[in-house]
Chain A
Amino acid sequence: MGTFGIGQPVRRVEDVRFLTGAGAYTDDLNLPGQAYGHVFRSPWAHARIISIDVAAARAAEGVLGVWTGADLAAAGIGDLPCAISGVLRNRDGTALDVVGRAVLARDHAMHVGDGLVFIVAGTIAQAKDAAELIVVEAEELPAAGNLADAMGEHAPMLRDGAAGNVCFDWEGGSAAAVDEAFSRAAHVTAADLVHNRLASSPIEPRAALGNQEDGRYVLRTSTQGANLFQRVLAPVLGIDAGSLRIVTADVGGSFGTKEFIYPEHVLVLFASGKLGRPVKWTGDRSDAFLSDLHGRDVLSHAEIAFDAGGRALALRVHNRANMGAYVSLFGPGIQTLGGARLTGGVYAIPAINVRVTGYYSNAVPVDAYRGAGRPEAAYVIERLMDKAARELGLTPDEIRRRNFIGQAELPYSHPLGFVFDSGAFEANMDDAMRLAGWSSFPARRAEARERGRLRGIGLSTYIESSVGFGYEAAEIRFPEDGTVEIVAGTMSAGQGHETVWAQIVTEQLGVPFDAIRLVQGDTDRVKVGGGTAGSRSTYMVAGAFRLSADQIIDKGKALVAELLGEPRGAIEFSDGFFRSPGSNRSMSIMEAAAAARRAGGDGLDSGATFNHDISTFPNGCHVCEVEIDPDTGKVDVVRYVVVDDFGRIVNPMVVDGQVHGGIAQGLGQALLEHSVHDPVSGQLLTGSFMDYAMPRADDLCAMETTYNEIPCTTSPYGVKGCGEAGTTGACPAIMNAVVDALSARGVTHLDMPATPFRVWQALRGAA
């Protein structure tokens, strides 16, 4: 509606706060009497803890308290849970039965960075100085720093009862149907692919401030939804949820990382309870690399069978996923329930079988990172399609045309269970190829060759799925100050919810956009909340706001009818006004809300929970052009075009930003980023921004974004979601372009990240 409704590129209302330095990130918050916590971490990847002597640390200047894992256990502090335990079924029919992690390791340290001791002092310098006085006697044990080491024949056993370090073994789709189809194949293409381990690296490090207020525990921290923290943390502390308040102010990026409950959340609350004063912990970047949950780290073996006409008959994928040292909150769910069901992408492949085996190792634990399994699924099928095209003598677009799920086949029942409701997969590709000037590429390649550069072009036709909690809650209230307070269980970490949610409510109720204030991230004010994850926030919250708005309109009609002396059925509502067409009288919603408030009770205030378990399927086509300097191996992305189908778009400016950022993270994975543990010592070799290559401004080019808005048929307002799509489509498009460029020199395969060294090696190897 109008300038501020759905579909408008409304400038963000949260920006002024951030632009003027007035944002309130967790470390910006300070409480009177606050003490500072520091986590003493294991320097070993795998060790048996014999003793921890903290006497000297305890006696050090300024130290207020020192606790080990044994102290926490004695105090009744529980372990951090894995929400997937009991939910995921192994292929042998057994349910996954795993424990999460201790808040501080008790008898074994399982990765470098595993917390052993929490020290609280008057200043952070005092806490860190005291940590130097801790003496740990430990027996260092053989470690498996990487997935390959954990899977190996001679791998150390890391868990009692986990033979071969296998954490879970899940399977989807019919192996028999796939075997049968492979027996009829005219051609089979196979590939082994690496999904490199990543450090999510929001620029705001994690932080937590624990306190006791009015007899309750209060935790101020960055989250993706305060209510999830309350639900998970309260049992760990041994208290009921009502005795724990979670407050999240501004969040400096998350990408999955801040969805999870970490040991430090428990520690600051526990210590604040013991000391009777606020305790703050702020991670530095080293803490982040060593203890923020990592992403990806999967090895795929994939085979696809084709008939003589280049049409896929069946797809078989076995993914081996590194869980790291512990299973985290959603860890075993990411590669299975989260991503694997999209194996096969946008193609009508009749038989698909995917198996995912999860392994323990002595690496930092892994959980959701932007895309959470869907980028892996897209990468496998899109790399396979390009490889098959080369083997079959087809162009990348032709092999896709022969295999796309067609318009007539939608809604399409996927062999792994999803139903793709809508999309136009071939049209996305046609549009993207046209916008990218695909047909004129040979001239650009020839021109680059004149300059001594290898130019390549690649595309991906990705699909992903929104996932997450099956409900979201919202309230709409009209306080006395004339504002409209909207309350949501979601949490913005940069996605612009204060603006976008206000656009949705403006559209629904016609209330003035400027009057709307979003309340989020406080369990005292948000009574029910799922949280922000899996690109689902916009349509879930829109559904909840719509239920609320419908109640408001019903209540308003009754009230206005009474005030105007008209029968209730005579009142209509549109564009923010209750009208009586018969009498030509009207009342604005803000006037009605004020009148209702004067009448007492809740006035027009309302709240609702929207239950919705159906995934949406954002999809699209990325086209990327790269130039490679064969002397150095450096890859430059020189052109990037995207056509996305996100269904209906609420704020195209914000959505553009989500796509840009998603592509940058995909580019980071494809070309730069790799979190590496030493195979022998298990030491993290990429523990700072000096060693871990984050994408910088000069690693990217401008990106051209366009939309093919095909409304989702199952979600409120036809919204599909946009938060993770860029990341999902980018890796295969970039790597297909890199391989295309290198193919002129005989290189047919390369794994991510395509660093200059690897590209240079590949060129030398092929020469």
Chain B
Amino acid sequence: MTGFGDFLGEFGDNMTVRVTTTVNGKLVSGDVEPNTLLVEFVRENLGLTGTHVGCDTSQCGACTVHFDGKPVKACTILALQAEGHQVLTIEGIGQPGNLHPMQAAFQENHGLQCGFCTPGMIMAGIGIAERNKGASLSEETIRAELEGNICRCTGYHNIVKSIAAGARDM
């Protein structure tokens, strides 16, 4: 983690700082104000708009990305904290015609409706699958570990099915 607190004293208003990080396997840089959130950097600086913002209190999980291989809400860390780290967004896990097993499972099981929470759900779902690798993934476990991601459309029924299926296929 970058000691961003040390930087702050050096910057006046509207000062920007360069952040360099790896996003979806590519080294990227951008100039950001020190208080820029990772989700803002990903959306605004990199134009990767698949990561969504659904709240302002870190409750909804629509902005979930992987940070050094683990799901995190991209609204809970600063862009500067990503300096030198690995960030994976929804755009980096699969493409049309070559979907990640978790993406394919969501389509097969109708695990999405409006699609807005979906990127966060998939990134969280992959995290659930990886954390429980080798163990049998129960519905109860999926529901408990999905507690940080809110969906308003699906009632979670098919999301839970999708994550179970995606985990089997991963």
Which A residues form the contact surface with B (CB < 8 A)?
A: 11-12, 14-25, 27-28, 61, 125, 201-205, 250-255, 284-286, 493-496, 653-654, 656-657, 660-665, 667, 688-690, 694-698, 700, 702-703, 726
Contacts and interface: CB of A to CB of B under 8 A. Distances in A.
B170 interface: no
Contacts of B26: none
Contacts of B144: 697-698
B107 A689 contact: no
Given A660-B155, A661-B155, A697 B107 contact: no
B106 to A, nearest CB: 6
Contact of B146 (A254, A662, A696): A696
A652 to B, nearest CB: 10
Given A494-B153, A697-B146, A688 B55 contact: yes
A20 B90 contact: yes
A698 B107 contact: no
Interface string B46-61: 0011111111110110
A494 B113 contact: yes
A41 B157 CA distance: 38
A57 B88 CA distance: 39
Interface of B: 14, 33, 43, 48-57, 59-60, 62, 89-91, 94-96, 99, 103, 106-108, 110, 112-119, 122, 139, 142-144, 146-147, 149-160
A741 to B, nearest CB: 21
Given A23-B115, A494-B113, A664 B52 contact: no
B122 A19 contact: yes
B52 A15 contact: no
Given A15-B106, A696-B150, A285 B55 contact: yes
Q: Which applies to chain A's interface (DSSP): helix, strand, loop or mixed?
A: loop
B112 A15 contact: yes
Contacts of B158: 656-657, 660
B26 to A, nearest CB: 15
A253 B152 contact: yes
A285 B54 contact: yes
Given A23-B115, A252-B114, A656-B157, 7 more contacts: A12-B107, A20-B91, A204-B54, A253-B116, A255-B152, A285-B60, A654-B110
A242 B159 CA distance: 43
Contact of A689 (B55, B114, B119, B146): B55
Given A20-B103, A495-B113, A690 B57 contact: yes
A20 B57 contact: no
Contact of B112 (A18, A28, A689): A18
Contact of B152 (A284, A496, A688, A694): A694
Given A253-B114, A660-B157, A702-B139, A20 B96 contact: yes
B89 A697 contact: no
Contact of B119 (A16, A21, A125, A697): A21
Contact of A664 (B55, B91, B155): B155
Contacts of B114: 18, 202-204, 250-254, 493-494
Nearest to B105: A19
Given A696-B150, A698-B143, A698-B147, A16 B96 contact: yes
A237 to B, nearest CB: 29
A203 B50 contact: no
Contact of A657 (B51, B110, B118): B110
A703 B155 CA distance: 9
Given A15-B107, A493-B114, A689-B60, A694 B150 contact: yes
Nearest to B90: A21
Contacts of B115: 14-15, 17-19, 23, 250, 252, 494
A664 B150 contact: no
Contacts of A695: 155-156
Contacts of B94: 19-20
B102 to A, nearest CB: 9
Given A19-B107, A657-B113, A205 B152 contact: no
A703 B158 CA distance: 10
B56 A286 contact: yes
Contacts of B95: 20
B157 A285 contact: no
Given A203-B60, A203-B151, A689-B60, A700 B106 contact: no
B59 A690 contact: yes
B73 to A, nearest CB: 12
Given A661-B153, A697-B142, A21 B116 contact: no
Considering the complex of A and B, which 4 residue pairs feature the smallest CB-CB distances, nearest first? A21-B50, A18-B115, A252-B116, A494-B114
Contact of A203 (B54, B56, B89, B155): B54
A19 to B, nearest CB: 4
Contacts of A703: 155, 157
Nearest to A690: B57
Nearest to A660: B155
B54 to A, nearest CB: 4
